[in-house]
Every structure is written in structure tokens, then in C-alpha cells.
């Protein structure tokens, strides 16, 4: 088999925005391992969490590089992504992943806060564009789905991962914006899911995104106001847990998705709620209810990550095989072979 430069270039032209949730899922899983390190007597959790965060940073860099090449070689494809009601939303996880990576790794690499700040500013500007588009475009009811929470409520990733640099008013304002948009979108999305046709099978793991804003809101409160919001934190985490529990009990409905990349959309929401429960019990009592719930949700996050990793390798293999076959046909044609 052979792979020409043209064949490789064709891969970049087709790079989907669905790759950005991979970095977000890995960053959430790495953060989960670091937080769980103080609640479970497993010395390898910390040693595993940091490499996963580094891996998520590498994946994010590769995603950005590939998408930049796509922008340079085929702007029409990028514009199509931006105009699509779902594919456009999947740009937000790139900024969210950078916030998690930068905010979490600041304790190990002091310059990490710069990445957090840049990603926060980028996500805010992206959100301004999205809200403007929501107000100026007409959408069909089927266009509304849980991925709309990514650019909107996803902004709360910034205050949740705030590394403590700069005035607290900035992450507080971002929390307010994200929470307002979350509260506004939640009844709209929930009505669409109940009264409109069901989400396509291959996208059903994205329903876990419904739980993400609850975890982000609770995590942001614990970061910004650690001494005064315990009841509200538990209430928010309970809401996120409800959505996760409901989806788990509908396993037959979810399993129709098969092993697809959309499972990456489940890892970060579940990890975020799990982290929230673990952080709400700073004493690290492994027998307390918050810790037990957090560890159970953490196990679910590991399961969804495993499914997503298998789907990623399978998708990469299929994509490369198709490209190799196409390239071989090109070479045969150049050589005058039938």
C-alpha cells in the first residue's frame, strides 16, 4: 500500500469538528484522576492523571493544526461547519479543553494560567458569535440538540478551572453569563427532546451533555465561593446526577448508537459531575455518600472513555484505509494500469 501527499492532504480537508470533544473528554478524565487521588488509596491515580492531561494537550494541538490546514486549503468546508447547527457547536470543546488543561496544570506549570486565560477569551468571543447567529438565523426544531449547551453553558468551564490569577470578578461574570444561557436553553432543549423526533441513534451519547452544565455550575461555585455555597452545590450536582441516572437506565436506547465517536461527548459531563461530588467532600472520607457517588460516576466516565477510545481507533483505521485505497487507484492510473 502507498500513501501520496495528495492522499494525506485529503485527510486534512475532511477533518471534522467532532475531533475537538476528544481532547475535552481526555482532559476531563485526567482531572478526574487527579481529584480522585485524594479519595482512593491508589497511588497510580495521580501518576495517571497528569499524563492523560498532557495527552489531551497533544491531541488538542494536533486538532488545531489539522483544522488550521483545513481552513487554509478549503475554507468552504470550514464555512459549512460554521453554518451547520451541530458541527459548529463542536468547536467549543476545543476552548473548553484548553481551559481545563491550563487551569489544572497551573499547579504544576505556572504558565498554565496563560492558556486558561487565552482559551477563556476565545470561548467568550465564540459565544458572542453564536448568540448573534441564534438571533439572526431561523432554525428548525430538529436543529436544537444538547450540543447547543457547549458554546453557551460551556463558558462556565472558565470559572470552574480558574487558577486564581487575576481579579475574581472576571470568572464571576463568565459564570453569570454561562448560567443565564444554560437556564434559558434548558427548557428549550428539553422540550425538543420530549416533543420532537428522537435524536439520531449515532448522536444519542450526546444526551449526557445535559448533565454537564450542572457539574460546571457546581464546580464554578466551589472554586469561586468555597465557603458559602454547599447547599446550592449539592442541589446542582443532584440535578446532573438525575440526568445521568436516567440515561443509564435507558441503556437499550443508548446502545443503538453503537461504538461511535459521539461517546466522547459523554465522558466530560460525567467526569465533571463526579469531580463535583469528590470536591464537595474535602475531607476525603471514602465512606461518605458524596465520595461514593463521585467514584461511581468516575467509573462510568472510564467506561464511556473506553468505548470512545475504541471508536476513535476504529474510525482512524477506516479513514486511513479508504485514503490508502484511493491513493493506490491514483498511482495505478498514473502508471497506465487499469
Dist. CA 206–CA 257, nearest whole Å: 10
Give me the tens of pLDDT residue by residue for the chain, a chain 338 residues long: 444 444 444 555 556 888 899 999 999 999 999 999 877 766 678 888 999 999 999 999 999 998 998 888 888 888 888 888 888 999 999 999 999 999 998 888 888 899 999 999 999 999 999 999 999 888 888 888 899 999 999 999 999 999 998 899 999 999 999 999 999 999 999 999 988 888 888 889 999 999 999 999 999 999 999 887 788 999 999 999 999 999 999 989 998 988 988 999 999 999 999 999 999 987 666 678 889 999 999 999 999 999 999 998 888 777 666 654 554 454 444 344 54
Q: Domains of the chain by range and CATH? A: 5-324 (1.50.10.150)
Full-prediction pTM beyond 0.85? yes
CB-facing half-sphere around the CA of 246: CA atoms within 13 A: 12
Residue 14 phi/psi, 5° resolution? -100, 10
Phi-psi category of 163—alpha, beta or left, where left has phi over 0 and alpha has psi -120 to 50? alpha
In this structure, what C-alpha cell is assigned to residue 225? 465561593
**Residue 219 to residue 158: CA distance in whole angstroms:** 10
Under DSSP, the state recorded for 283 is T
Amino acid at each position: 500500500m502507498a500513501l501520496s501527499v495528495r492522499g494525506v492532504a485529503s485527510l486534512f480537508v475532511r477533518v471534522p469538528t467532532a475531533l475537538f470533544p476528544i481532547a475535552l473528554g481526555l482532559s476531563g478524565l485526567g482531572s478526574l484522576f487527579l481529584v480522585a487521588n485524594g479519595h482512593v488509596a491508589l497511588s497510580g491515580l495521580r501518576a495517571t492523571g497528569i499524563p492523560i492531561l498532557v495527552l489531551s494537550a497533544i491531541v488538542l494541538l494536533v486538532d488545531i493544526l489539522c483544522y488550521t490546514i483545513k481552513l487554509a486549503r478549503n475554507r468552504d468546508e470550514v464555512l459549512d461547519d460554521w453554518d451547520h447547527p451541530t458541527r459548529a457547536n463542536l468547536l467549543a470543546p476545543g476552548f473548553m479543553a484548553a481551559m481545563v488543561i491550563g487551569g489544572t496544570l497551573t499547579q504544576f506549570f505556572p504558565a498554565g494560567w496563560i492558556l486558561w486565560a487565552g482559551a477563556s477569551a476565545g470561548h467568550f468571543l465564540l459565544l458572542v458569535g453564536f448568540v448573534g447567529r441564534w438571533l439572526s438565523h431561523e432554525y428548525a426544531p430538529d436543529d436544537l440538540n444538547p450540543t447547543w449547551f457547549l458554546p453557551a453553558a460551556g463558558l462556565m468551564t472558565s470559572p470552574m478551572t480558574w487558577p486564581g490569577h487575576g481579579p475574581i470578578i472576571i470568572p464571576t461574570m463568565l459564570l453569570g453569563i454561562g448560567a443565564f444561557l444554560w437556564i434559558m436553553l434548558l427548557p428549550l432543549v428539553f422540550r425538543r427532546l420530549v416533543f420532537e423526533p428522537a435524536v439520531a441513534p449515532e448522536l444519542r451519547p450526546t444526551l449526557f451533555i445535559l448533565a454537564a452544565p450542572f457539574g460546571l455550575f457546581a464546580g464554578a461555585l466551589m472554586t469561586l465561593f468555597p465557603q458559602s455555597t454547599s447547599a446550592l452545590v449539592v442541589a446542582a450536582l443532584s440535578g446532573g446526577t438525575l440526568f445521568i441516572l436516567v440515561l443509564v437506565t435507558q441503556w437499550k436506547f443508548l446502545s443503538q448508537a453503537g461504538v461511535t465517536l459521539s461517546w466522547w461527548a459523554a465522558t466530560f459531563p460525567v467526569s465533571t459531575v463526579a469531580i463535583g461530588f469528590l470536591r464537595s467532600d474535602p475531607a476525603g472520607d471514602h465512606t461518605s455518600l458524596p465520595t461514593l457517588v463521585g467514584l461511581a460516576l468516575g467509573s462510568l466516565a472510564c467506561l464511556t472513555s473506553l468505548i470512545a477510545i475504541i471508536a476513535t481507533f476504529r474510525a482512524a483505521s477506516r479513514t486511513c484505509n479508504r485514503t490508502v485505497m484511493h491513493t493506490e487507484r491514483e498511482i495505478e492510473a498514473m502508471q497506465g494500469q487499469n
